[in-house]
Amino acid sequence: MVERVYRRASAAACLDALLVATDDERILREVQRFGGEARMTSPNHQSGTDRLAEVAELLEADVVVNIQGDEPLLHPEAVERVIAPLLADQTIPMATLRTPLTDPDEIASPNVVKVVVDCDDRALYFSRCPIPFVRTQSQQPTHWLHIGLYAYRRDFLLTYARLPRTPLEQAESLEQLRALEHGYTIKVPVTDQRSVSVDSPADLERVRRLVAELGPAAE
C-alpha cells in the first residue's frame, strides 16, 4: 500500500521531492525496494505531525505536505489543491481539504470527521459530531467531510509541533484543533477527489473493491 500511495503522490506536479518518514524498518526496506526515498525517525512521536516536523527540520523547503500512508486512492490533484492556498497567500500557515458529505450514516458517524468553515474557506471547527446541527428540515446546510491531507509552511510546522495539546484537541482526538485553539488559520478549499483511509481489514477490502471497479483509472 505504501508503494501505491508513493507512486500516486509522485504524480503531483507541484512536489519537488517525496519521502517516507517512518519509525519501522520494515517500511524503510519496502520503500527502498521499490526505489523510493525514506528516512527513519524517533519511535517516540505521538502523532504523524511530530514525525513530519522531525524530518522537516532537516529540509530546505518553504511548504511541506503531510500525505498519509494509508490513503491508497489518493489523487495527485488533491495534493495540488491543498498546496494552492499557501502558494497564493504567504500569510496562510496551513491548509487541508473538504468535500461534500451527503450520506446520513457518515454524517452521524464519529469515525467520519466533519468541518465547518467561514465565508473565506477558513476552518471554524472540526468535529466527530454532525456539524452544523440542522434545527429544522427546511434548513439544508452543506455538510463537509474533512480530508486528512495537510500542507504547512515549514516554519509554522516546526512551531505547531511544539505547541501544547489543547482541551478540544484532546476531547475530539483531532490534532488539527490545536492550531485553531492557538489562534492559527487553516484554509480548507473544496475538492471532489475523495480518498478512503485504510484503518481496518474491512477498509482494505473496500479499497480493493473500489480499485477493481475503477480499473486503470485508479492505478
In a domain, 23, yes or no: no
Q: Quick one: pLDDT at residue 207?
A: 60
Question: Per residue in 193-204, pLDDT tens?
Answer: 776 666 566 666
Write out the residue range of the structural domain in which residue 179 sits.
49-214
pLDDT tens for 92-124 read 999 999 999 999 999 999 988 999 999 999 999
Say what percent of the chain tops pLDDT 90: 66
Please give the mean pLDDT across all residues of the chain. Answer: 88
Q: How many domains does the chain have?
A: 1
d(CA 41, CA 145): 31
Residue pair 159/49 in contact (Cβ under 8 Å)? The answer is no
Give domain status of residue 101, yes or no. Answer: yes
Q: What is the pLDDT of residue 108?
A: 93
- At 143-158, the pLDDT tens digits run 999 999 999 999 999 9
Domain CATH number, residue 67:
3.90.550.10
Residue 2 confidence (pLDDT): 85
In this predicted model, what pLDDT tens digit does every residue of 44-78 receive, in sequence order? 988 888 999 999 999 889 999 999 877 777 889 99
**195 found inside a domain:** yes
